[in-house]
Homo-oligomer: A and B are copies of this chain.
Amino acid sequence: MNIAMIRAAMERSVGLVRETPLLSAPGLDEIAGRRVLVKAECLQWTGSFKFRGGWAAVTALEPAVRARGVLAISSGNHAQGVAMAARLLGVPAVIVMPEDAPRAKIEGTRALRGEVVLYRRATEDRDAIGARLAEERGLTLIRPFDDAEVIAGQGTCGIEIARQARAEGITRADVLVCCGGGGLSAGIALALAAEAPQMRVRTVEPEGFDDMARSLRSGRPERNPRLSGTICDAIMTPEPGRLTLPVLAELAGPGIAVTDGEALRAMAVAARHLKLVLEPGGAVALAAALFHPGEAAGDAVICVASGGNVDPEVLARALRE
């Protein structure tokens, strides 16, 4: 991965990937005690940044390979990103999803005409299911973060951040990014290194699932002890990506962890002050900006609101809190 790949992905994205706004509100600045800018990736097609990587990866395939179709293994946002890219390109998409994925994400994937294959987390091997389907139908697997083209696609978000922040008069700031496997964080870090070298990515994860923060601290890949027990389903990954960790080890600052309660409160703040619907995993970076002000440096902080595909009950719960 390098900036040339990100720029190439950006060129393939013109008119298709949405340039999402960098939003702000006086109410946020008051809570955080500094200027807060929110990159509203929940307004991206499919409701999360994942369309960027899906589009970049599917458009990078050779036409004959692409025509046979693509496969994604995902509990939700990556599924929708790949399904939307495939739909726009008129190629088949098969999505392997856990049967307990948020309903909004299963329905969203089906609405995009993705063929959803459900599996049981406890008893079935999703990778084996995916491998069988890929083999049988000649599908190409699009990985959610350990794929150079996917990371390049997510990096287009970083190019926009650099440009939009400059227009706001900001060239030096921590950029807080919701982090699962690290594809978005690594892509943005690579983009900022080239386009806004005084900005630094800070990964944000749920407490107890901060494999990336611990890996950045120890210098080697650390696994999460558990794979359930947070409402931040979108960013609950077993361990950092093989491609993403080295990038972040070189370019990112220390990782930050927030509680589920803070993520829910950030969702309520986003609804009230920004009129944005966020999902828990898409709200952790804002939660860090609002409720962990001591952990980020500078007069302004930028955070990526990475997705908004939340079941209505969970949003209603956040609004009550």
Interface residue A272 (Cβ < 8 Å from any Cβ of B): yes
A312 touches B275 (CB 8 A): no
A316 touches B308 (CB 8 A): no
Question: Could you mark each residue 75-93 of chain A with 1 if its beta carbon is under 8 Å from any beta carbon of chain B, else 0?
Answer: 0000000001000000000
Interface residue A27 (Cβ < 8 Å from any Cβ of B): yes
Contacts of A40 in B (CB 8 A): 43
B111 touches A26 (CB 8 A): yes
A43 touches B277 (CB 8 A): no
Across the two chains, which residue of chain B brings its CB closest to A313? B319
Best-surrounded residue of A42, A272, A315 (most CB of chain B within 10 A):
A272
Q: How far is the CA of A42 from the CA of B277 in the complex (A)?
A: 12
A319 touches B308 (CB 8 A): no
Q: A43 touches which one: B104, B108, B274 (CB < 8 A)? A: B274
Q: A277 touches which one: B26, B275, B313, B316 (CB < 8 A)? A: B275
Q: A271 touches which one: B27, B112, B313, B315 (CB < 8 A)? A: B315
Interface residue A253 (Cβ < 8 Å from any Cβ of B): no
Contacts of A268 in B (CB 8 A): 312
Across the two chains, which residue of chain B brings its CB closest to A278? B275
Q: A26 touches which one: B42, B112, B275 (CB < 8 A)? A: B112
Quote the shortest CB–CB distance from A314 to chain B (angstroms).
Answer: 10
Quote the shortest CB–CB distance from A28 to chain B (angstroms).
Answer: 11
Interface residue A23 (Cβ < 8 Å from any Cβ of B): yes
Q: Which 10 A-B pairs have the closest CB atoms?
A: A275-B308, A312-B319, A42-B275, A316-B316, A275-B277, A271-B277, A316-B319, A47-B275, A27-B111, A43-B275
Q: A43-B274, A276-B277, A316-B319 are in contact. List 19 more A-B contacts (CB 8 A).
A: A21-B21, A21-B43, A23-B43, A25-B45, A26-B111, A27-B111, A30-B111, A43-B275, A43-B276, A47-B275, A272-B312, A275-B278, A275-B308, A276-B276, A277-B277, A312-B320, A313-B319, A315-B316, A316-B316
Q: Could you list some 6 contacts between A and B, CB below 8 A?
A: A26-B111, A30-B111, A47-B275, A275-B277, A277-B277, A312-B319
